[in-house]
Amino acid sequence: MTTIAVLGNGRVGGSLATALIRAGREVTVADRAPGAAADAARTARIVINATPGAGSLDRLVALREELRGKILVDVSNATVDGPDGLPADLIYPGSSLAEQLQEALPDTRVVKTLNTMLYPVMTAPAALTQTPTAFLSGKDPEAKQVVRGLLADLGWQQEWITDLGGIETARAAEAAILFVPHVIRSSGFAPFAISITR
């Protein structure tokens, strides 16, 4: 059985870990204890980055050796928060957190996904009244196929998943976070996701 390490045990990491365990996956969650992230990443084949995006790059670069040869699923958004705590701008304009991670960790296969929705949708996509879209960005086709399997375990049907292409396409998906504060202010904190309809 593939071991999955979830880095970050807040609302996002906790929800993902619970759902994947329910689906029968073997999951380790790294808490804030010293060395916990390194220990979890070392024993995993797949590592999910659910840490706050503003500090993700530094945290994960420190795990370079533990992440070597692994699939890193990045679900975070690197943003500058406004006075109300909601995203106000991107930390990496003209790039993305996922691209920065792939450049800094060349021996790790980075796949960006699940960052274009509020966190409850990540593990319950069918709860929305309309079909949501999960995007994939990454340079390694095999890694993206593995992530498709994880998404299926979380309730995502394959036709709801859109492969955008290489890791550079993550900048478009990450920029979608700028919708979030405006939607929340206009409609309240209700689950929603970016969706491509045809």
- Exposed (0-12), middle (13-18) or buried (19+): which is 21, by Cβ within 10 Å? middle
Residue 187 to residue 90: CA distance in whole angstroms:
22
**The pair of three-digit structure tokens given for residue 4, joined into one six-digit string:** 């999955």
pLDDT digits (tens, 9 = 90+) for 26-74: 999 997 777 999 999 999 999 999 999 999 999 999 999 999 999 999 9
pTM to 2 decimals?
A: 0.96
pLDDT tens digits, one per residue of 79-99: 999 998 899 999 999 999 999
93-118 residue pLDDT tens: 999 999 999 999 999 999 999 999 99
Q: Which two tokens stand for residue 178?
A: 């700028």
Of 92, 95, 89, 104, residue with least CA distance to 180: 89
Tokens of 164: 């955008």
Quote the longest CA-to-CA distance of the chain: 48
